[in-house]
Amino acid sequence: MRLAILEDEAPARQRLEEAARRLRPDVRIVAALASVEQAVAWLAGNPAPDLILADIQLADGLSFEVFERATVACPVVFCTAYDEYVVEAMAAGGIDYLLKPIRDADLERALGRYQRLEQHFAERVREVARVIAQPPKRLLARHRDGYITLAIDQVAYFVVDDKLVDVVTRDARRFGLDRTLGELEAELGGEFFRVNRQYLVAGAAVTGFRPWTKGKLLVELAPAPTGEVIVSQDNAARFRSWLRG
């Protein structure tokens, strides 16, 4: 998740950064901005982040001015010590309104809300893509000093290992790929499911699952993976539906 923070008080900004990294270890802070002018200039010259955490009162005015002057193509979570700006915050694209001091539970709720929105719209995009494009039948995998071709129906799952993507075949062979899980997920359609940030699995490789802690699911795959494969509570219902076809 690429995160931008609008906060003029350095200690508050640091607490937000630390809390976001604690709750989402994969978060990347792409901007930490203290004023309306800084934020407008940064948004004009950089790709939009995935999410903005914005204090309302910045060094040179209210952050609402940022969203009036700049084109902001991402959701916003407002973080403030004042409760009288809720209506303006929602009108400016807010998906949550957190009152300071911000507890981890409040920030977790806001980040979870963003991720559910992201998953919903990503699924809609994938549905459209499946209608207009046929998934590839083969892929290229690294093997020794060259490449081999693998039929998609040979694939059990894709897994991220030390930031690189490997493909594991149904007969337990393993090869490296020059692809990301996101690219593979977009291309392969409904035959594969992104169970978490590490695994994209074929339906034929799922031999079962069982309840895990806090509404999560523990997935059993063949061939067996090296570690546990967990589906989050937010994705559990969608995973069950996908397995049913």
Q: 106 is written with which tokens?
A: 């409040």
Q: Where are the domains of the chain?
A: 2-126, 137-244
CATH 3.40.50.10190 matches 137-244: no
Under CATH, which architecture does the 2-126 domain have?
Answer: 3-Layer(aba) Sandwich (3.40)
What pLDDT does residue 83 have? Answer: 84
What pLDDT does residue 212 have? Answer: 94
Show contacts of 93-97: CB within 8 Å, 24+ apart: 93/67
Cis peptide before 101 (omega within 30 of 0): yes
Say if residues 204 and 213 touch (Cβ distance below 8 Å).
Answer: no
Q: Which of 224, 166, 234 is nearest to 195 (CA)?
A: 234
pLDDT at 55 over 70: yes
What pLDDT does residue 72 have? Answer: 85
What residues are paired with 193 via a beta bridge? 201
What pLDDT does residue 136 have? Answer: 75
pLDDT at 237 over 80: yes
What are the DSSP E strand ranges found in the chain? 2-6, 28-33, 51-55, 57-58, 61-62, 76-80, 94-99, 138-143, 146-151, 155-161, 164-169, 174-177, 192-194, 199-202, 206-211, 217-221, 229-231
What pLDDT does residue 91 have? Answer: 82
Q: In what order do the strands lie in the sheet with 217-221?
A: 206-211, 217-221, 229-231
Q: For the segment 80-107, what is each residue's pLDDT rounded down to a tens digit?
A: 888 888 988 888 879 999 999 999 999 9
Q: DSSP per residue over 178-231, as a string?
A: SS-HHHHHHHHGGGEEE-SSSEEEEGGGEEEEEE-GGG-EEEEESSPPSS-EEE
pLDDT level of residue 135 (50, 70, 90 thresholds): low
Q: For the segment 7-35, what is each residue's pLDDT rounded down to a tens digit?
A: 999 999 999 999 999 999 889 999 999 99
Q: What is the 3-state composition of the chain as percent helix, strand, coil, each rounded to the nearest 5?
A: 40, 35, 25
**For the residues 56-70, what does the mean pLDDT come to?**
91
pLDDT above 70: percentage of residues in the chain: 96
**For the residues 58-70, what does the mean pLDDT come to?**
91
